[in-house]
Amino acid sequence: MSNAATPTDQTGAGTVSASGNIASYIDHTLLKPEASEAEILKVCAEAAEYHFKSVCVNPLWVKTVKTALKRSGVLTCSVIGFPLGATPSDVKAFEARGAVLDGADEIDMVINIAAARAGDKGALVDDIAAVAEAVHTGGAILKVIIETALLSDDQKVLACQASVEAGADFVKTSTGFNGGGATAEDIALMRRTVGPDLGVKASGGVRSLADAQAMIAAGATRIGASSGIAIVKGEQGSSSY
């Protein structure tokens, strides 16, 4: 079960020629482990002011974000198995279920990266499907982080295929914690693999309006960034995510 698809949500590649509607693509992100409540609330206020698509935080902060964003129209997003993906699937599913119960509208999970590198599609499907069931039962949507910097092109394709088979709503490039980041080439590859009906999220190193526009032109329908304000202002962000 997923949210209704819109041109800037999760189906097909959107287009954007100026900063006017770029905010609707952005998951305004704060995933640093040392983030304070005051910093989380600041991000929420920014998201409400600029009309970003969501605020993406660690599970600890989901209740805080949900409350802060009430009546703002901004979604609450959380990450699962983050940033390594190296926890058992049932633990990821439990974590996801808890985040959705706390109010998360969207879940970004990290795959079993070792399985992707080993070419084990069955293990990938099982891992993603376990989380997808937990997320969709709660009425939320699932984005699958494949961690492109650690995979070959063939492994990226395999991870995307497994995400489709397992019932994910999006595929996503990166955590931003393991080097590398989103590239237009990876976005194009992911879009070709998943087809027009899944979302593709570019995250990691998207710091300017030009970066975001390049990702959207390549097929991205969502942008994960902590430089969202710089992006909508046409400035250059400095954050690593």
Active-site position among 108, 127, 169, 186? 108
172 is catalytic: yes
Tell how strand 106-110 and strand 141-145 pair up.
parallel
Active-site position among 27, 66, 201, 211? 201
Per-residue b or e along 204-223, where b marks 16 or more CB atoms closer than 10 Å to that residue's CB: bbbbbbebbbbbbebbbbbb
211 is catalytic: no
201 is catalytic: yes
Burial of 15 (0-12, 13-18, 19+ CB in 10 A): exposed
Judge whether 65 and 44 are in contact, CB under 8 Å.
yes
- Round to whole Å and give the CA distance between 161 and 212: 25
- Round to whole Å and give the CA distance between 109 and 124: 12
Active-site position among 9, 172, 186, 211? 172
Residue 106, beta-bridge partner list: 77, 141
- Catalytic residue numbers read 108, 172, 201
